[in-house]
């Protein structure tokens, strides 16, 4: 069940855009994301460790991503609840592992493609992190206030998003123009 983000549970919100030099009609974010090879995922950020595609028990597409965000090792289980060529909405209750221990955080990842003109598309990578009840218990047990945790997560998430978004856009562009993932970009 999705936790709605409020000022009382918000950890971070980062939105970064990049240009895809391909027409919107050739862009298919759902196909790109839900078939993304591990090596391509790793190329898109120095903090990406691994990725795989699976399904939930009821058949919904699932993207498994392992990466670091700041000092946290994140194991993300993104369920695709909307997946279209121009928009994917991915929701994960993610494991967050730090030297202080392990907890869980909800991460909403939205990937959007919007027409700029006949030959270019705007790619938007938006990430919301929300504290779960488990995380509130973890923070309390470790004497960490939410504001400090949120400030650290915001800085780390935004830096990560600024690195991966232009690389995601280039990868989506390559797939749109060639029909395959490239070895490098």
pLDDT tens-digit profile of 137-181? Answer: 999 999 999 999 999 999 999 999 999 999 999 999 999 999 888
Measure Cα distances from 58 to 33, 61, 80, 139, 176 in Å. 19, 9, 12, 33, 29
Supply the pLDDT for residue 185.
57
**pTM beyond 0.85:** yes
Supply the pLDDT for residue 184.
61
Measure Cα distances from 12 to 7, 63, 105, 158, 183 in Å. 10, 21, 11, 8, 32
Domain covering 12-178 in this structure, CATH number: 3.30.530.20
Between CA 62 and CA 53 the distance in angstroms is 6
Residues 87-128 have pLDDT tens digits of: 999 999 999 999 999 999 999 999 999 999 999 999 999 999
Segment (H or E) for 1? none
Supply the pLDDT for residue 131.
97
Mean pLDDT, rounded, for 29-48: 97
DSSP string, 98-147: ETTEEEEEEEEEEEEEEE-SSS-EEEEEEEEEEE-HHHHHHHHHTT--HH
Is pLDDT of 182 > 80?
no
């Amino acid at each position: 069940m999705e936790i709605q983000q409020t000022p009382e549970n918000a950890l971070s919100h980062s939105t970064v855009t990049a240009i895809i030099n391909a027409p919107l009609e050739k862009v298919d974010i759902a196909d790109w994301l839900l078939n993304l090879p591990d090596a391509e995922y790793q190329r898109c950020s120095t903090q990406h460790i691994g990725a795989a595609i699976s399904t939930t028990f009821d058949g919904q597409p699932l993207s498994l991503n392992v990466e670091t965000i700041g000092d946290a090792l994140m194991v993300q289980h993104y369920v695709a609840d909307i997946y279209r060529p121009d928009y994917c909405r991915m929701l994960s209750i993610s494991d967050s592992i730090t030297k202080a221990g392990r907890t869980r955080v909800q991460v909403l990842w939205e990937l959007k493609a919007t027409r700029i003109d006949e030959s270019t598309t705007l790619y938007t990578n938006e990430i919301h992190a929300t504290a779960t009840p488990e995380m509130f218990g973890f923070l309390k047990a470790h004497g960490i206030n939410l504001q400090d945790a949120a400030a650290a997560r915001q800085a780390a998430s935004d830096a990560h998003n600024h690195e991966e978004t232009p690389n995601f856009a280039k990868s989506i562009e390559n797939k749109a123009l060639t029909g395959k993932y490239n070895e490098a970009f």
